[in-house]
Structure 1
Amino acid sequence: MGAKDGFPQYRKDVQYSRESSLNTLQYCIPRPTTRGTKQVWVIYVHGGAWQDPEIDASSFDKAQELLFESHMLEHIAGFASINYRLSPYPSHPRDPSHPSDPARNARHPEHINDVLAAILHLQETFRFEERYVLVGHSCGASLAFQVAMKRYWGSQYESTLALELNVVPPIAILGVEGLYDLPALVKHNAGEPVYQDFVANAFGRDTSAWASVSPTAGDYGNSWQEGRLAVLAHSRDDELVEWEQVDHMHKALKSQGFDEASGDRRLKLVELCGKHDEVWQDGRELARAVEATVQVVKNWL
């Protein structure tokens, strides 16, 4: 298929809501959609500790380029990558946030509301319903699993928007170098105040509330009935997020019926190579994790 066919189609800076300049997404459609074709969308949520302005939707570009060369591409209908409002970061060395900027002063549940709104925009546009793999890196992995949690964040965080949005959760979630248990993350890194700072900037200073927003607290039997596969991809070389985060999430999912060997709700571990941001900067490891996820999901389409 050549450029004369009009594919692949790329769209950037697609506005999905008017909350701020960061409420945009980008997407790519590799080929025309054929009626009856059994394919999934791959939707990416970037990391950056809910606050880093230098990590955005374009951080999926390299992995997406590599996936175009993958044998799994035939099972992928489209790619999308989401921007969302960020928490304050006034001490950022190159691009400090300003209190008057609505794009840089978000607090939970505004980040997850943005992700939900972006997914709803894509679902209403392309009608793929649950047929998508939701991929998140670092705090993006937290947001991906919060999509599956949706209405189960605890009363102090109930979100009118999240309750109103009729977002269909994905068939599969892939967490990459993810943050899954926020109290454990802060405790493990107690010698580094930056961890407590970015969690507090995103979720407030009430430390007792952090557990209820953590993916390990999800009631996935009720909130994610569409879920068939949870993949946890992590590198033991990650210098920022310890492997114990994987252990906590693995235990939580196992306790709710996700199984590595068999069953309707599968659990998969993928061990990656490289440091925390290298997995997306180089793109190969992130692409490999997506391939491993689609390899399983394609059998259910």
Structure 2
Amino acid sequence: MAQQVQFQTMPYGEAKHQEVGVLENNSAQQNTTSQQYWLVFIHGGAWREDNDGVNGFLPSVQKILKSKDVPQSSIRGFASIDYRLSPCNEQDQQKGKKQCPEGSIVDHPAHILDVRAGLNELQQKLKMDSNYILMGHSAGATLAFQVLMGKDVLNGQDSPDVPLPAAIVGMAGIYDFPQLLNDFTRPFYNLFVTDAYGADKKVQDQVSPSKFTGNYKQAWPGDNLVMLAQSPTDGIVNFAQRDNMQAKLEQDGFTVSLQELEGDHHKVWREGSQTAQLTAQILGQLSGEPAKTKAGEARGRRAAKSSRATQRQKKQRQ
């Protein structure tokens, strides 16, 4: 099916995947009375798959633009950040597995350096300042919170300072690597974590957003918002990840909005309608008038079920 919307791509580096996609919301350009935000997406893929790169956000963009729940005048436009990927293990490379990336292959801290460089490129071109919502799926959610962690995850590498977002939405995010490797014993998990971040447990701790040794409220001052969304039928990332991130954020002074997703790990970005619901919710919260969507109505149900779901998924050790 032909895409109904299309990103204009811009490079922020010379390597494959070092690009951002931008789509302005033409209908919102006429509006000068309400606060407007850019929606900036970071894809997942275990640091080894590009999940369609910048175009992985397009199904969500289409659903957002068609949604009656989303205040269209509040969206200035859309952006998507791609980044270089990590190598597969030798066995997967020999088998020619699809998820083995092409082009430049890197490890930490290249991924977060690329995301920061992409944000800097968007700032230079779009003048977003802090008027943007950073949305990340899976590994993309990890990277979104690593933006807040600053020098703690840059390994001494230089990176431009970038204005921080007004809100972060983490979808099926990975926030605690030691917890993930404890809960899932399938070799795949250890492989993608070590391929991206190495085998040093101290480093895995250091880069885990839920284990940030600083204070998020101090690193990200102001009336900023955080939303964490998770599906009870996600077979790849469990509720322990969301729960640990929620605990850290609340410890640091944030009130965390919890949203329930439906379907498997990839449904939220591949299908797009749930991303639209989350967008309506976060824009409503930013304006002080939370939207009434299915995602919002599910929040209360999720709070009651989260403990049972966490225990159920922990039993599904792989």
TM-score by length of 1: 0.86
The answer for unaligned runs of 5 or more in structure 1 is 1-7, 260-266
| Equivalences for residues 147-296 of structure 1 within 5 A | 147-153=147-153, 157-162=154-159, 165-190=160-185, 192-218=186-212, 219=214, 220-226=216-222, 228-259=224-255, 267-296=256-285
Q: Greater helix share, 1 or 2?
A: 2
Local SS of the residue matching 1:160: coil
Aligned in 2, Cα 1:176/1:169: closer, same or farther, shift over 3 Å? same
Are positions 1:39 and 2:43 aligned together? no
Contact 1:26–1:81 (CA under 8 A) maintained in structure 2: yes
| Structure 1 residue 72 displacement after superposition | 2.1
CA distance in 1 between counterparts of 2:187 and 2:18 reads 29
Structure-2 residue corresponding to 1:17 = 13
Q: Residue 236 and residue 281 in structure 1: after superposition, are their counterparts in 2 closer, same or farther (change >3 A)?
A: same
Q: Deviations over 1:179-200 (max 9, x none)?
A: 000110011002x011011010
Residue type of the partner of 2:18? Answer: N
Q: Pick from 32, 45, 48 the counterpart of residue 45 of structure 2.
A: 48
Question: Aligned-pair distance for 1:225?
Answer: 1.7
Q: Does the CA-based 8 Å contact 1:169-1:226 persist in structure 2? A: no
CA displacement at 1:35 relative to structure 2: 5.1
State the shift of 1:11 in Å.
3.8
Structure 2: state its 5+ residue gaps. 290-318
Answer yes or no: is the 8 Å Cα contact 2:232–2:261 preserved in 1.
yes
Does the CA contact (< 8 Å) of 2:48 and 2:101 recur in 1? no
In structure 2, C-alpha distance between the alignment counterparts of 1:277 and 1:166, rounded to whole Å = 31
User: Which letter maps to 1:93?
Assistant: K
Q: Show CA shifts across 1:84-135 (max 9, x none).
A: 000012625236346xx32xx1111100011111111111211121111000
Identity of aligned residues (%): 31
Which residue does 2:297 correspond to in 1?
none
Deviation string, structure 1 residues 195-227 (Cα, Å, up to 9, x no partner): 011010111111221011011123213321246
Distance 1:9 1:203, change over 3 A: same
> What is the count of residue pairs matched by the alignment?
275
Is the 2:47–2:85 Cα contact (8 Å) retained in structure 1?
yes
Q: Distance in 2 between matches of 1:169 and 1:61?
A: 23
TM-score in terms of structure 2 length: 0.81
Q: CA RMSD in A?
A: 2.0
Shift of 1:62: 0.6
